[in-house]
Copies of this chain bind each other. A is one copy, B any other.
């Protein structure tokens, strides 16, 4: 039996509330009355409170001195910092993998993934969901390649930071044409990271990991300056105070 199945109510609360918050169902800074939200999600306060604790931990909600939670608000600087942090952590994972020497099977698996990604970004038969799934898988694998559960966990956490996920600017929408080029650049970096790890070039692997996250920052700046109308469609960007 899956954990997801075991505590089904908690999972439902977590997914549901996160989705509500990220999609801007509540205004930034708005208080979240537990009874109210629990009823809205169709479950009791117990699993909801669990989910809220978790979202506080993820930084999406924040505790109020007087009790309860409210939706967090982020400055643009915080979003940039979150992206930077993801880059630092993924860069570290890449460096550690390179330094210690990655498992050959894993390197092969990553190579397979890269080939699949090559196919996925082919403009002819571009499939959006497939790309996001493969891209996530790549980042998962990169985090695991350091050979440390703790490193993997912290990388995963960084990806959950608001608007810091590699797919934040892709998720839940069709491909924005302006981002097509970014996909190709990302793929070049993916391959470079893979090569650096295989060649055990730690410093290069780390630098590439950091730079790779900067793509998200580029996309962020593009959206904010060039296409602010897209901001609503990027999960979490609704919480950014302008």
A150 within 8 A of B: yes
Interface residues of chain A: helix, strand, loop or mixed (majority):
helix
**Could you say which of A24-32, A59-67, A165-173, A225-233 contacts chain B?**
A59-67
B50 engages A81 (CB within 8 Å): no
Q: Could you tell me how many residues of chain A have their Cβ less than 8 Å away from some Cβ of chain B?
A: 34
Within 8 A of B (CB), among A74-126: 77-78, 81-82, 84-85, 88-89, 92, 96
Copies in the complex: 2
A37 within 8 A of B: no
A54 within 8 A of B: yes
CA distance A78 to B146 in the complex (A): 11
CA distance A84 to B151 in the complex (A): 9
B153 engages A77 (CB within 8 Å): no
Q: In the complex, which residues of chain B have a beta carbon less than 8 angstroms from the beta carbon of A158?
A: 154
CA distance A144 to B224 in the complex (A): 27
CA distance A154 to B50 in the complex (A): 21
Q: Which residues of A contact B (CB under 8 A)?
A: 1, 3, 6, 49-50, 53-54, 57, 59, 63, 65-67, 77-78, 81-82, 84-85, 88-89, 92, 96, 146-151, 153-154, 157-158, 161
